[in-house]
C-alpha cells in the first residue's frame, strides 16, 4: 500500500488542474487503483458545475480525505481497482450523464473530462507499462 507524504500532498495539491490530471493518470496507471467518495448510505459524491454533474476521482486515498468538507464531510473513501472501475463503475457513471472531476482539491474543481478522454488518456499511459 502506498502512503502519500504530507509534503507530496501539499506540492501536488498546489499544481493547476491539468497538471493534477496528468499526475492522476500516471499514478493510476502505475498503481492500478483510484479513489472516490460515497456517502454512508451509498450515494455518490458529486458536484454540479455550470449544469454538469461531476464525479470526483483521486489517485490516492489521502487526497480524497482532504475533500471531506461541506456536502462531503460525512462521506467515506472508496477504492477501486482500475479494471473493476472500467468494467463495472464507468458504465454507470456514463449512463447517468456525469463527467469526471479529476483531482479536485478542497472546494476547487479538478480537471473535467468526459469518458472518452479519460479512457484514452489512461490507456495511453498504460501502454508505457507494457
Grid cell in block for residue 30: 502505475
Report in angstroms the alpha-carbon separations of 99 from 4, 36, 52, 105, 118.
Answer: 26, 14, 7, 17, 10
Q: Is CATH 3.40.1350.90 correct for 6-118?
A: yes
Our separate counts of H helices and E strands in the chain read: 6, 6
> Whole-model pTM?
0.93
Digit-coded pLDDT (tens) for 14-73: 999 999 999 999 999 999 999 999 999 988 899 988 899 999 999 999 999 988 888 888
Cβ(99)–Cβ(44) under 8 Å?
no
| Domain locations along the chain | 6-118
Amino acid at each position: 500500500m502506498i502512503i502519500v507524504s504530507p509534503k507530496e500532498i501539499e506540492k501536488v495539491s498546489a499544481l493547476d488542474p491539468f497538471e493534477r490530471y496528468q499526475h492522476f493518470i500516471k499514478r493510476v496507471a502505475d498503481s492500478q487503483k483510484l479513489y472516490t467518495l460515497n456517502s454512508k448510505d451509498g450515494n455518490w459524491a458529486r458536484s454540479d458545475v455550470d449544469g454538469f454533474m461531476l464525479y470526483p476521482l483521486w489517485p490516492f486515498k489521502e487526497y480524497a480525505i482532504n475533500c471531506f468538507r461541506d456536502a462531503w464531510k460525512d462521506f467515506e473513501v472508496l477504492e477501486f481497482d482500475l479494471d473493476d472501475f472500467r468494467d463495472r463503475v464507468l458504465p454507470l457513471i456514463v449512463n447517468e450523464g456525469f463527467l469526471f472531476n479529476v483531482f479536485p482539491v478542497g472546494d476547487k474543481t479538478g480537471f473535467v473530462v468526459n469518458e472518452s478522454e479519460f479512457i484514452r488518456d489512461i490507456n495511453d499511459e498504460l501502454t508505457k507499462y507494457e
